Amino acid sequence: MTAVLMGIGSFLPPVTVTNDDLSRTLDTTDEWIRTRTGIRERRFVSEGISTGSMAVTAGERALRSADVSGVDAVVVATTSPERLCPAVAPEVASRLGLGPLAAFDLTSACSGFLYGLATASGLIAAGTADTVLFIGSEAFTTLVDPADRTTAPIFGDGAGAVVLRRGEPDAPGALGPFDLGSDGALADLLAIPAGGARQRSADGGLGHATVPTGDWYLRMAGRPLYTQAVERMTQSAQAALKRAEWSAADVDWFVGHQANIRIVRAVAEELELPGERVAVNIDRVGNTLAASVPLLLNDYAARGDLKAGQRVLLSAFGAGLSWGSTTLVWPEIRAESVD
């Protein structure tokens, strides 16, 4: 038995920030951001909206799409948690009225959705849960220095959710074999140095060194990450295809993590997938980490571009470093459009 996709939902916060908006305060231009990243605008959380509330709304929509009122477990992938402790998943489960069930968070940055799918599949395959609500939710713009032109234009906020159930491996929506990997030797290429146990105190109290303000924000080495992203996503996608016994010609849609349009296109080119089979929404949402892949799936399904029976290759790469890929045949499910 395996995990089968039976519902999907997503949420974008209402505040849209365009490249022109950013260039009012940053030394950048719409032209630079568009041509180097493919991003035109992104959403920002605002008062009253954060990782937990976005997860609740996306989760509600996924439960409605699956036409179920209960599940056995809730997993939230996020690298922008509400608080360092506790995990947000129990609160999300409670706010959704799902009862005292298994609920936990998972941190795997931009590959969080792939790691979460694999984890949810594991819960189902082991018989721990028959149904899982899995949500990727990120308010990562709150962790990015608004004055840093090398990171501020790239990220956006949002959430995407899926409901998975136990089913046969040949059922439409059944997740294929996974390829997952990591390289912790390159952890510093994308990191937020402070806030965790390693570098915690802001005031130098209790014998800790004072934390420089910049350490509370994301630090990113864009160039080497770019190279790693193309290489790792390509290798991972190829490995998942091989395990599923698919060739690139079998793939109707490549749904790759939206970090940079140039990365997505370079991976597609390496995989020999033509542009018309490459799903893209980075222009409207930016890099939304663990929410990226489900937001993209929801977008394409809601407007009818992603149809039942089509073969989908999912792949993501992110901080850690970490990466993952899998395959599925798209099932007959309802997806609501989000603006």
Q: What is 267-313 written as a DSSP string?
A: HHHHTT--GGGB---HHHH-B-GGGHHHHHHHHHHHTTSS-TT-EEE
Instruction: DSSP letter for 179, please.
Output: E
**Closest residue by beta carbon to ligand COA:** 222
Q: Name the segment binding ligand COA (CB under 6 A); options: 68-76, 222-230, 237-245, 268-276.
A: 222-230
What residues between 112 and 131 interact with ligand COA by CB under 6 A? Answer: none
146 lies in the site for ligand COA, by CB under 6 A: no
Task: Number of residues interacting with ligand COA: please give it, by CB under 6 A.
Answer: 21
Catalytic residue (choose from 257, 260, 281, 298): 257
Q: Name the segment binding ligand COA (CB under 6 A); options: 30-38, 137-145, 197-205, 207-215.
A: 30-38
Catalytic residue (choose from 19, 260, 281, 287): 287
Q: Name the segment binding ligand COA (CB under 6 A); options: 33-41, 80-88, 198-206, 277-285.
A: 33-41
CA 305-310-315 angle, to 5 degrees, is 90
Among 135, 190, 268, 279, the residue binding ligand COA under the rule CB under 6 A is: 190
267 lies in the site for ligand COA, by CB under 6 A: no
Say which residue the tokens 């140095």 belong to.
193
Name the minimum Å distance from CB 160 to ligand COA.
16
The token duo for 14 is: 């209402």
- The yes-or-no answer on residue 257 being catalytic is yes
What residues between 47 and 66 interact with ligand COA by CB under 6 A? Answer: none
Q: Which residues contact 177 (CB under 8 A, 6 or more apart)?
A: 240, 243, 244, 326, 327
The token duo for 112 is: 């969080």
Q: Name the segment binding ligand COA (CB under 6 A); options: 117-125, 148-156, 164-172, 206-214.
A: 148-156
Q: Is 309 left (phi over 0), alpha (psi -120 to 50) or beta?
A: left
Name the minimum Å distance from CB 28 to ligand COA.
3
What residues between 315 and 334 interact with ligand COA by CB under 6 A? Answer: 317-318
- The yes-or-no answer on residue 110 being catalytic is yes
Contact (Cβ atoms closer than 8 angstroms) between residue 37 and residue 154: yes
Contact (Cβ atoms closer than 8 angstroms) between residue 8 and residue 160: yes
CB closer to ligand COA out of 6 and 293: 293
181 lies in the site for ligand COA, by CB under 6 A: no
Measured N-to-C along each axis, helices 30-37 and 261-270 cross at an angle, to the nearest 10 degrees, of 20
Contact (Cβ atoms closer than 8 angstroms) between residue 210 and residue 203: yes
Strand pairing category for 190-191 and 179-182: unpaired
Q: Helix, strand, coil shares of the chain as percentages rounded to 5?
A: 35, 25, 40
H/E/C letters for each residue in 193-233?
A: CCCCCCCCCCCCHHHCCCCCHHHHCCEECHHHHHHHHHHHH
Q: x/- contact string, 67-106, with ligand COA (CB under 6 A)?
A: ----------------------------------------
Q: How many CB atoms lie within 10 A of CB 311?
A: 17
CB closer to ligand COA out of 57 and 151: 151
CA–CA separation, 234 and 331 (whole Å) = 25
Q: Name the segment binding ligand COA (CB under 6 A); options: 29-37, 161-169, 294-302, 323-331.
A: 29-37
Name the minimum Å distance from CB 106 to ligand COA.
16
219 lies in the site for ligand COA, by CB under 6 A: no
285 lies in the site for ligand COA, by CB under 6 A: no
110 lies in the site for ligand COA, by CB under 6 A: yes
- The yes-or-no answer on residue 19 being catalytic is no
Instruction: DSSP letter for 172, please.
Output: T
Contact residues: ligand COA, CB under 6 A: 28, 32-33, 36-37, 110, 149-150, 153, 190, 220, 222-223, 225-226, 229, 259-260, 287, 317-318
Active site residues: 110, 257, 287
